[in-house]
Structure formats: C-alpha cells, structure tokens
C-alpha cells in the first residue's frame, strides 16, 4: 500500500529581488493498492516528475509525506528506497560497463546475494528481451536497449512499488510494448506501479486508475469509466484537454 499525504513541493530560485518561488506540487494526496497501475497524467510542467522525485527521496517534500507500509520518505529514506524501483528519463547509466556488470553492481549495492542476483538477472533479461546485448558496453547500445537496461537495473531488487517517469518516451512501438507488457505482468504479480505520461493511448490501455495533475494540483482522480462518466466527454483525452484548456472545445463533441 502506498499513501501520499498532502504532499507539497516549492522550489526557490534566485536571490534578493530576483527571488522566485515555484509551487510545483500543491497538497497532493492519493493511494495505490498492490496490483494496481496508477497513471499520473498532466501537461508539461504539471509537477509529475517533481511528485515522483519526492517519492524516490531524491528531493524532500516541503510539506506532507508519503508512506509505503510503515515506512515514510522523511524518516526512513534508505528503507523506503529499498521498497521502490525508480526511473526517470534524466537518469542515465555509466556507459563504460555492460548491462550485466551494472546489474551485478546494483544488486550488490541492494544487499542481494550473488545467487539471488543471478536468478533475478535471468528473469529480467528474458522478460525484457535483453539477452542479445547484456555483455556489450552500454555506450554502444541503442536508446531502446539503454532504456530496457535502465528498467531492469531499477528493478533488480524486486521492489514492491515501481515508480517510472515516462518510461516509454522515445521508444519505438515494439520496445514500448515490451516495457508496458512487463509492467502489466509486474502489477499482476501484486506490485504497485505508478507511472507518469502524456501519452493518453498508452495510459488508457495500461492504467487501472488515473490522477490528472495540472499546475501541481490533482484535478481529477478515478478509473477510466469513472472519470468519463463524471464528465461531459467520452474519452480521456478530451477530459484531459478540458482541464488544461477549459475554454477550448478542441477534440470531441459534447455528449
């Protein structure tokens, strides 16, 4: 069980006269159950990455907190991190080494036994169709292969909660499908998956529940049918647009 409670994040930049405060996330609360894929939707700058980074403990929330079971981000950083697999598009891998080496390395850092690492690697390499390139230098891989490697590494320790920021960005449909299929299989085995995306098609297919984030605020939350029923629109994309551009009638017709 993952609980996010009244999470807020402010960024301060500049000094003196130029000082600026950005309210990136405002009082955000949501929950996810095991087996659930939760989609965080929102336009650029909505605060998706910021929210997920708070969940990764990379940055500290200005106020509020997030819990996995009895552990929270503020007090149990290291324990909390052991429960999550986290990946954003600006996280990269050391290109000098091979996927295999990096998997071993991160496995050991996550306090796994070598035998455990071997088993886990075997499963991930097959599931993500990586076997062809596990011994190549990461620098020499295509961006799709790199992304698969990053996904595999972030999940080496088999975390309960998978938090991915735009995991399919820049991937072709085949690679994208192998990543999303993998995420579905993870959820089916009882993990919590949280992902952010702007891609409505993927979101509709993949996610069990959605939160629509605009300017740091959660404007809408629910299942696909729940959200559509409660709105004037007949698809997720139009609901999404109605929040970003309330005055426009872009997209579908009124029902």
Q: Which residue's structure tokens are 């029923």? A: 229
What is the distance between the alpha carbons of residues 249 and 246, in angstroms, rounded to a whole number?
8
Restricting to residues 36-65, which ones interact with other proteins according to CB under 8 A? 56-60
The contact mask relative to ligand ATP for 203-242 (x = CB under 6 A, - = no) is ----------------------------------------
What is the distance between the alpha carbons of residues 231 and 217, in angstroms, rounded to a whole number?
18
Give the residue with the Cβ less far from ligand ATP, 53 or 209.
Answer: 53
Distance, CA of 195 to chain centre: 3
The contact mask relative to ligand ATP for 45-64 (x = CB under 6 A, - = no) is xxxxxx--------------
Measured CA distances, 116 to 41, 121, 129, 160, 198 (Å): 36, 9, 20, 17, 36
What is the distance between the alpha carbons of residues 74 and 87, in angstroms, rounded to a whole number?
20
Instruction: Please pick, from the candidates 14, 17, 18, 44, the single residue that binds ligand ATP as defined by CB under 6 A.
Output: 44
- Show the tokens assigned to 26: 């405002």
Is residue 111 a contact point for other proteins (CB under 8 A)?
yes
Instruction: Please pick, from the candidates 14, 18, 75, 90, the single residue that binds other proteins as defined by CB under 8 A.
Output: 90
The contact mask relative to ligand ATP for 71-110 (x = CB under 6 A, - = no) is ----------------------------------------
CB of 214 to ligand ATP, least distance (A): 10
Indicate the burial class of 85 (C-beta count within 10 angstroms; 0-12, 13-18, 19 or more). Answer: buried
Is residue 22 a contact point for ligand ATP (CB under 6 A)?
yes
């Amino acid at each position: 069980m993952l609980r996010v409670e009244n999470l807020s994040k402010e960024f301060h930049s500049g000094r003196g006269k130029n000082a600026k405060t950005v309210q990136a996330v405002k009082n955000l609360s949501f929950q996810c159950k095991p087996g659930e894929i939760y989609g965080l939707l929102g336009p650029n700058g909505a605060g998706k990455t910021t929210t997920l980074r708070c969940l990764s403990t990379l940055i500290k929330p200005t106020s509020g907190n997030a819990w996995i079971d009895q552990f929270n981000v503020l007090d149990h950083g290291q324990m909390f991190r052991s429960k999550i697999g986290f990946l954003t598009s600006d996280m990269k891998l050391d290109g000098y080494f091979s996927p295999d080496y990096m998997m071993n390395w991160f496995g050991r850092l996550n306090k796994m036994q070598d035998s455990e690492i071997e088993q886990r690697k075997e499963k991930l390499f097959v599931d993500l169709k990586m076997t062809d390139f596990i011994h190549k230098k990461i620098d020499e891989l295509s961006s799709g292969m790199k992304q698969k490697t990053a996904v595999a590494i972030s999940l080496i320790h088999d975390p309960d909660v998978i938090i991915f920021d735009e995991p399919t960005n820049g991937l072709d449909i085949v690679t994208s499908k192998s990543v999303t299929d993998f995420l579905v299989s993870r959820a089916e085995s009882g993990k919590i998956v949280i992902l952010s995306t702007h891609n409505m098609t993927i979101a509709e297919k993949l996610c069990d529940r959605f939160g629509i984030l605009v300017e740091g605020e959660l404007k809408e939350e629910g299942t696909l049918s729940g959200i559509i029923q409660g709105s004037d629109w007949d698809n997720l994309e139009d609901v999404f647009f109605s929040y970003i551009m309330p005055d426009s009638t872009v997209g579908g017709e009124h029902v």
